[in-house]
Structure formats: structure tokens, C-alpha cells
Amino acid sequence: MVSVCTYCGVGCEIEVEVENNKIQKISHFPGGVSNGGGICVKGRYGFKFLEKRLPTHLAKMEYIDKIAPQLPFPLQVRLANLTPYDHRFYQIPFTLAVDLTSWQLGKIVEEMGGEAVAGIGGARTNLESGWVFQKFIREVIGSPNVDNCARVCHAPSLKGLKRTIGEGASSLPFDALFQSEVIFVIGSNTTHAHPMVAKRIIEATRRGAKLIVVDVREIELMKFADISVILPFETNLLFLNSLAREILEKGLENREFIARRTGNFSQFKTQLLSSPDGKETFRRGGFGKVADAIEKIAPLLTRKTAFLWGLGVTEHLDGSDAVSAIANLALLSGNFGEGAGVMPLRGQNNVQGACDVGCLPYYLPDYQPPEKEGLKTPQIFDAILEGKIGAVVNMGEDLLQIHPNQNKVAKAIEKLPFLVVLEVMESRIVEKADIVFAVKSGYEKEGVYVNAERRLHLTQPLVTSHLPDDWEVIQKIAQKMGGEFNFASTREVLEEGIAREVGRFAGARYARLKNGKSLQWPIAPSGEDTPILHREKFSTPDGLGYFHFAQWEPRGELQWHLTKGKTPTGDISPPWYLTTGRDISQYNNGSQTDPAPQLHRKYPEDVLLVNPIHRPQLGERVQLKSQFGVSAPVKVRYTSKIRPYTLYTTFHFAQSRVNFLFGDEADRHTLTARFKSVEVEVIPVETPEKEG
């Protein structure tokens, strides 16, 4: 059987052996395009969660006790035969869960108005469910408040690219990397987060491509790089601007391309060359190697270059501006076409698709502007605390682990009058839900997923399940609340709903996606797809690309080095700076990967990477403390790949409380959290080793 991996944004096609309705083995599908001839350990072993998934729909006992006297008599009668699931929840029939949810949502809308309801989710389920979900929130509930987990990852990529080239997605397919002469990777630990893209990058270097890798720490991909750059924390924008400045000052820009295909070059050039900062700013701060690298990299970018980035770019205060700065480099060098372009490495299996069909507060499907912009997820939490949001419908997003400022989020969820969760696995957010709908996983249902290269894949049910798909749950609730939702199948949602409303999916048909086939949007009604964007014109109103300059604001590690000795406290040692990321063996909150013994053995807990010079003062286990919160004790692993006074850890296990360390600091345009840099105090919790 052929289907698609349920994890990252690569969307690897898989071949699956099933026996007695259980998956026995997963391997790569030889006819696949996205998988690049392999799959990672998560794709190979990460299916054991199906044996520990939520088996039934649930209603919290405390919630039932509270609402029972208020319910219409026919609903009260149906509560009589509920049986316990555990000490917190009752098992509940699907129809009763639907009726209770529609009654409660209707009551909140009547008393508080439609905008008192918010919908969050869509990136982990199929395209069809995402479209139905936002349609329900907007049209049936009457609320503009719909968002998805792009809020904590690539919302800045959408913002930064849309204002420069008009489309917030990858302009080229993964396999185009084999045609690139230069591959530029910044802020992406690709071998761990997107292994099958990393496999292509490594193969491309063996075929002669030059590789440039930029990060705040030494990562595995740097083994294959021609130029590796270790940046001080929070200097992506300065680095990218400095590269653009070097190109201009050395006369390396593609003048013909700029004159023909861009609209505001003169203004951008003036702004950039007037900036007080450039490569010399790194030298003054003691990072001369970065300045030297800028001089070496700039000439390489005149060649056919693919620009790739991950959350190490977007999860910063200036994430959107840094993405625009990457687009500036591509425009300056004329790098759009075969083997050249921009490629944000999306993290979720359908986060691209969720955005495409309007699971965003500021875009309707196909990125059309709404009449009224809704609240972003962090604003939803604030509104709950202010008493303005009475209900959240949450579809497949663990709000109590993946978001920043978990102290505030926890308070908001505690205060929220009504929480509905659609989930596959038990998680922190499930524990707090009033109604839980157990839904099919990606391995149990049919549907379309859109990967990081804009490629549509059709999943096939690998095992049968009696549970509903997400869209079926939402449709039933919508019908109870008067919505005209009458889709008979997942295929019908795509072909009769999405394809008619969303122009980029006009030619999407299940028949064209069967047996491992795939298409990249935009897809014409004829079925012709578009592997490469922006060949002749950009997706802006006039077809031109527009440079966007933003000035780097001094802060963080480099700013400390620029001003050391001048600080009011007279500090001698630098502050500690923490960044976070993923391990190849786990995925997000670990709920679907950790049940697999092979994956748990490889990475059973979050680990903090620290430079060995700190071993005498720290020992083997520490707590981290920021101005926003405190982590649990975490195990320390010492490695020279981390610079002194810088730290790295993962966030896969809720018990580590890593995301309690981050506050509301976020990208100024999208409110995407500043997960990649926070100043912390490191507190030993075991006796440090004694010297001698």
C-alpha cells in the first residue's frame, strides 16, 4: 500500500505492509518524488502510536456535572448511561458529543457573540479538514478568529515572501537542488528536521554544488559545507543585510534582472548603503570570521543559487524581515528559475495546505483578505484572560506544550469556559478539554496533504478505523448549528468545495493523485501543475519583485560584545543564551513518535548541549531560568559544537517545561514566538565535578 508519511513538511511517499489491520513495516515508496529515495527514522518506525491512540470520544466529568441542570431535557436523559473512561472523563457516543458541543457553542454565540469563539488547528490534518474547519468558524459561528500552528513556525516566511515576491511558499521543488550551483542554508538543522532534503543537499555537493551553511552552532550539515558560518545570536538580519551590501559595494548585482523584474531597487540601494551596520559590525564585536565569510559568500551568490531556511530564521523578533532579506538576495542575484529560488523548509505535514485554505486570521482561502482580521493565537490567549473568548475549538494542536509563555497559556486554558479538542493522542491539551473527539490519524484516512514544495499528496487509509475524520466532526456540528455542510466524502470536499473556491487547487482531483502521483500548485483546471514559480513574473499585482529593507536593531549576544565593559553592572562573563530545535528521532510534543521503542531509545528525554569548559561549574543536570519562567531539571551533554555561554535543547517532552522559558516576545509582524533566543540563568541541580 502506498501513502504519505505523517510527520514533517517533506511529505515522503511511503510503502506500507499491513497484516490483520496493523502496520507491520514502513519503507520508502520507490516511485516517490518527495522522499528522494529514502525515509528517516520517524517515517520508518513512527507508527506505533496507533496502538496507544485515543480509542473513543470523551466528556469531562466535571463539565457534565456543571452543565447537566442547564441542558434541555432530551439531552439530560442521554447523560444517564454514560460510563467512565478514567477518573476524569466519561466515554461518550459521537452523536451525543456533537449535540453537547453544538448546544454549548450555540449558547456562547447567543450570549457573547460569534467572535467569542476561536478555532485553532489544521496543520496536522488533511487539506479537506482545514478548509471545512475555517469555513465553519467563519460562516457558521460568525468568528474571524481562526489560526493554525504556522503561528509558531513559518508565518514570517509567508509575510516576508509575500511582500517581496507575492507568494509565501517555496518557488522550486526539492529535486531542483541537483541543478543548483550553490545551496545556501541558514537557520535550518536540516539533517534532523528535514532529513530527506538534507540527503539531496549532500548528494548535490557530491555532484559539484557549493554549500554554504549558516547557524548559531555547529551542525551536522556543516561537515559537507564549503563555507560554514557560526553567527552570534540574533544577527540573521544583520548578516543577510551585510551580504546584500557586499554584493552592491562590489558591483556583483544582476543589473539586467533587477532592471527587468524588480520595482524599487534605487530606494532599497539607498537605504541599505545608508545603514550604519554591515560586516564591520561583526568585526567590532569580535566576530571577524563572520565578516571574512561575507566577503567569500557574496561572489558565490552570483551563480545559480537556492536559498533554504528554517525556524532558525523565522522564530526571532525580526523573522519576517530576515525572510525578506533572503528574498532581497535572490532578487539582487537574479536567482529565480531552474535550480534557483527560495525554499522555506516547512515543519508540519500540512502547514502549507492549512494556510492555503485560509486557516489564518488575516487570510481567507487562496490568501484573499477577509472583511475583518481575526485574532492570532497569542491574542486569543489574551482575550480568554480578558473574558472576551468563551470557547476554543482546537483541531490537532497541543496548545499546552508547543506555544511560548506556557504560564500564561495554562492560566488562559484554566479560565476558558469551553474547550473542544479533536485529537489522535492523549496530550496536555486533551487533559483540559471539556469535549474530546477522537479522530482518525493520517494513516487511517484518505485526504490531501500539501508539503513544503507545494506538492499535493493523497493519503490512503492503511488501517481501518471506526472513528471520524476531522472534517466529519466539524460538518456534524455545523449541521446541528444550521450550517449547510453536506459533503458525502473527503473527495467531494476537495473536488466540489476546495477546487471550486481556491484557485491554486482548481485542477486538483483524486484521480490525478492516485497511486503515489503528486502535483504542485497552482494546478490549472486541465491538471497541469507548476513545479517552478516566478519564471517570468512574480505573483505581485504588477508582476515585479520588490526589495524590502529593514534595519537590524542591536541586541543579544553581539550587542553585549559591542558594549562589554560599558554595562552598568560591569559584567565580566557574558549572559547565557539558549536556542531550541528538534531531534531527528522525535517530533514536536513526542506524542506520536515516543510510543515507538526504536525512537524512544534514540532520544528518551530533552538534553541540554553545553560547551565542555562549563562542566566544572554546572555538573550533569541543570535548571534553566529566564525572566518568564523556569524549566524542569534537564540532563547536560557537553560538546565542543556549542560555543561557551550558548546553549541548545529540544522541546519534545512536556515534563521538561522548556517552553515555560519563553514569553510573549515575538516577530513584530506575525507574533511568531522568539523561540531561537532567550537569555537564561543556568542553575546546577547536582553537585558539579570538582577539579583535581
Position 571 pLDDT exceeds 60:
no
pLDDT tens, position by position, 29-74: 999 999 999 999 999 999 999 999 999 999 999 999 999 999 999 9
Q: Which of 677, 664, 674 is nearest to 378 (CA)?
A: 664
Tell me, what's the pLDDT at 691? 47
Rg (CA), the chain: 25
Q: Give the C-alpha separation, 440 to 11, whole Å.
A: 18
DSSP alpha helix (H) spans, 497-596: 499-501, 556-563
Tell me, what's the pLDDT at 572? 74
When the pLDDT of each residue in the chain is averaged and rounded to a whole number, the result is 96
pLDDT mean over 583-600: 95
Tell me, what's the pLDDT at 570? 54
The CATH topology of domain 2-51 is N-terminal domain of TfIIb (2.20.25)
For residue 688, what pLDDT band results from cuts at 50, 70 and 90?
low
Position 256 pLDDT exceeds 90:
yes
58-150+357-520 carries CATH number 3.40.50.740 = yes
Please check whether residue 522 is in contact with residue 245, taking contact to mean a CB–CB distance below 8 angstroms. Answer: no
Whether residue 72 is preceded by a cis peptide bond, meaning omega within 30 degrees of 0, is no
Position 692 pLDDT exceeds 50:
no
pLDDT tens, position by position, 473-488: 999 999 999 999 999 9
Q: What is the DSSP string of 594-661?
A: TTSHHHHHH--S-EEEE-GGGHHHH-SEEEEE-SS-BPPPEEEEE-TTS-TTEEEEE---GGG-GGGG
Tell me, what's the pLDDT at 573? 85
pLDDT mean over 210-239: 98
Q: Give the C-alpha separation, 390 to 385, whole Å.
A: 10
Position 499 pLDDT exceeds 60:
yes
pLDDT mean over 213-235: 98
Q: What is the DSSP string of 455-473?
A: EEEEE--SS--SSPPHHHH
Tell me, what's the pLDDT at 354? 98
> What percent of the chain lies above the pLDDT cut of 70?
98
- Grid cell, residue 255, equals 543589473
pLDDT tens, position by position, 325-364: 999 999 999 999 999 999 999 999 999 999 999 999 999 9
pLDDT tens, position by position, 421-430: 999 999 999 9
As a CATH number, domain 155-344 is 3.40.228.10
Q: Which of 530, 523, 444 is nearest to 490 (CA)?
A: 444
Please check whether residue 6 is in contact with residue 349, taking contact to mean a CB–CB distance below 8 angstroms. Answer: yes
pLDDT mean over 110-116: 98
Q: Give the C-alpha separation, 10 to 343, whole Å.
A: 12
Position 567 pLDDT exceeds 70:
no
Q: What kind of architecture, by CATH, is found in domain 570-684?
A: Beta Barrel (2.40)
Going from the C-alpha of 423 to that of each of 400, 463, 469, the distances in angstroms are 14, 17, 10
Quote the pTM value: 0.97
Q: Are 155-344 and 570-684 in the same CATH fold?
A: no
pLDDT mean over 173-185: 98
Cβ burial 508-547 (10 Å sphere, 16+ → b, else e): bbbeebeebebbbbbbeeeeebebbbbeeebbbeeebbbb
For residue 564, what pLDDT band results from cuts at 50, 70 and 90?
confident
Tell me, what's the pLDDT at 157? 98
For residue 566, what pLDDT band results from cuts at 50, 70 and 90?
low
pLDDT tens, position by position, 64-97: 999 999 999 999 999 998 999 999 999 999 999 9
Domain ranges of the chain: 2-51, 58-150+357-520, 155-344, 570-684
pLDDT tens, position by position, 650-677: 999 999 999 999 999 999 999 999 999 9
